[in-house]
Amino acid sequence: MKKPKIVVIEDEVDILEVINYNLSKEGFDVYSALDGEEGLALIKKEVPNLVLLDLMLPGLDGIEICRKLKTDYSTRSIPIIMVTAKGEESDIVLGLGMGADDYMVKPFRPRELMARIRSVLRRGDFIEEGEGLVSINELVIDINRHEVKLEGKKIVLTAMEFKLLHFLASHPGQVFTRENLLNHVSSDDTFIIDRNIDVHIRSIRKKLNKHRELIETIHRVGYRFRDKDQ
């Protein structure tokens, strides 16, 4: 079986060595770069399965690399996990808005990083019991019947709540801004503003009751459905 290929762009040598060691130990094929220009060239050459991208880089920064990757037909489908320091939440929002799949805050634990990488690489390959059926822990979402069950009991959701829950549960571990969620769940015949997302999420959590923690709030960024590896 072919190893998943990952490009790591990180200018701190010590952190890069730790990441490379853990990725190699987990069976990934790893390529790395210390600056933005070199990293972008490496991505275009290797066309990896995932990019681990530091935001603060010499030359091209992570936001610019993300923009270039997502506007290039040959690289726009490559998943990206951004790595950042705590004070750069505005850059996180910008990066996620450009199409990055997730982010990690330094310092991070290698075990958590590996879990995030595996989650993003699955690209929605969540636990399934059949076409149109999503099952995670005690939650089962049947898209064909427009039905949700929790611990075997039906829970009643509005149409918008159903769309939000189904979309989040279909991408466990991935972080979505309110704008991302709006783009995926709104349609021509609905009107919804981004802060309404918060109201719908609160309502969904209330109906999930003791399982409300399945939907995580990422401070000043958006929301994420808890991955089973986390």
Specify the CATH number for the domain of residue 30: 3.40.50.2300
230 assigned to some structural domain:
no
Structure confidence by residue, pLDDT tens digits, 201-220:
999 999 999 999 999 998 88
Tokens of 221: 């960024």
Using the 3D structure, point to which of 83, 101, 122 is the last residue of a domain.
122
**Same-domain pairing of 13 and 110:** yes
Q: pTM (2 decimals)?
A: 0.63
**Same-domain pairing of 102 and 147:** no
**Same-domain pairing of 104 and 159:** no
Residue 189 confidence (pLDDT) = 39
173 assigned to some structural domain:
yes
**Same-domain pairing of 11 and 113:** yes
Orientation of helix 194-208 relative to helix 159-169, angle to 10°: 80
141 near 134, Cβ under 8 Å?
A: yes
Alpha carbon distance 47, 44 (integer Å): 5
18 assigned to some structural domain:
yes
Which residues of the chain, if any, have pLDDT below 50? 124-130, 188-193
Q: What is the domain extent for residue 14?
A: 5-122
Using the 3D structure, point to which of 88, 122, 156 is the last residue of a domain.
122
Using the 3D structure, point to which of 93, 122, 151 is the last residue of a domain.
122
**Same-domain pairing of 142 and 161:** yes
Residue 190 confidence (pLDDT) = 43
- SS3 at position 90: helix
Residue 8 confidence (pLDDT) = 97
Indicate which CATH number applies to the domain containing 183. Answer: 1.10.10.10
185 near 160, Cβ under 8 Å?
A: yes
Residue 68 confidence (pLDDT) = 92
Residue 106 confidence (pLDDT) = 86
Return the CA Rg of the chain.
18
Phi, psi torsion values for 35, nearest 5 degrees: -145, 165
Alpha carbon distance 226, 108 (integer Å): 18
